[in-house]
Amino acid sequence: MTNVLLEKKGHVAVATINRPRALNALNSEVLEDLNELVDLVNADSEIYALVLTGSGEKAFVAGADIGEMSTLTQEEGEAFGKKGNDVFRKLETMPIPTIAAVNGFALGGGCELSMACDIRLCSEAAVFGQPETGLGITPGFGGTQRLARLIGPGMAKQLIYSARNIKAPEALRVGLVNAVYPAEELMPAAEKLAATIAANAPIAVRACKKAINEGLEVGMDEAVVIEEKLFGSCFGTADQKEGMGAFLEKRKHEPYQNK
């Protein structure tokens, strides 16, 4: 991966999109690197949570690479959208929890990338938006779908139709992000949250993610069945035995082993 840096800190992986001169804009190469990142993290059974951020002080990801997009035909544009959607969907459906640490501009594809993560934390300098209608296109990497699901269709339509950017306080107010931090506190906060999540039983955490994501796609009667099956699947695991045993014995649980 030439455009994405990966570092492991215990059971937490920190991935940094590293194209600062282009404000970490998403071109085909970056999308391919993100695809490889997901494969690498999924293949490492010792990674229990992933933090994704951007290099430099200005941008998380400023958007898709307009220089690359400007020459695309209709068929090529659809193919580029599919490429981004496939990668983002692959990220979104990773078994482990993912946290976007948004350290600056998250516009267009950058906003869409952050929304493919489970949790979004941002710095006070963060700016979010879907500016595509001002460029003569629609959001192409899931923006019309995830934004409406996260903040409601009315507010999503307003932001997408108007192509208006919003700063961190408004992003927090409308529910696009979970918390806002001073710039120097963002990564420590993101890594601390990831470590807190990673300290819990990984099988249970993954089952919770699966239950939430799959349950949101169906009616409540089907959703509770999904939960029942995942709830049951945790019993008999080493982590369930250790967790409940530690509680009953009034002691701190031993590190969980993802089994």
Domain CATH number, residue 168: 3.90.226.10
Active-site hit among 29, 32, 132, 254? 132
Query: What range defines the domain where residue 18 resides?
Result: 4-198
* Predicted pLDDT at 68: 87
Radius of gyration over every alpha carbon of the chain, rounded to an integer in angstroms: 19
Beta bridge partners of 53: 16
- 191 and 206 together in one domain: no
Question: Looking at residue 64, what is its pLDDT?
Answer: 83
Per-residue model confidence (pLDDT) at position 72: 93
Residues 175, 114: Cα–Cα separation, whole Å: 13
In a domain, 255, yes or no: no
Instruction: Say whether both 161 and 226 belong to one domain.
Output: no
For residues 72 and 185, membership in a common domain is answered with yes
What pLDDT does 47 receive?
97
- Say which of 46, 112, 184, 185 is annotated catalytic: 112
Domain boundary among 198, 219, 237: 198
pTM of the complete model: 0.96
The last residue of one of the domains, among 198, 214, 230, is: 198
pLDDT at 258: 76
Of the candidates 159, 180, 198, which is a domain's last residue?
Answer: 198
Residue 254 lies in a domain: no
Averaged pLDDT in 10-residue chunks for the chain of 259 residues:
96 97 94 98 97 96 89 94 97 98 97 98 98 96 97 98 98 98 98 98 97 97 98 95 95 86
User: Are 166 and 55 part of one and the same domain?
Assistant: yes
What contacts 218, CB < 8 A, 6 or more positions away?
226
| pLDDT in the model for residue 65 | 83
> Would residue 76 show up in a list of annotated catalytic residues for this protein?
no
pLDDT of residue 135: 95
> Angle at which helices 238-248 and 202-215 pack, to 10 degrees?
110
Residue 253 lies in a domain: no
* Shared domain check, 172 and 127: yes
Q: How confident is the model at residue 257, as a pLDDT?
A: 83
* Helix, strand and coil in the chain, % to nearest 5: 50, 15, 30
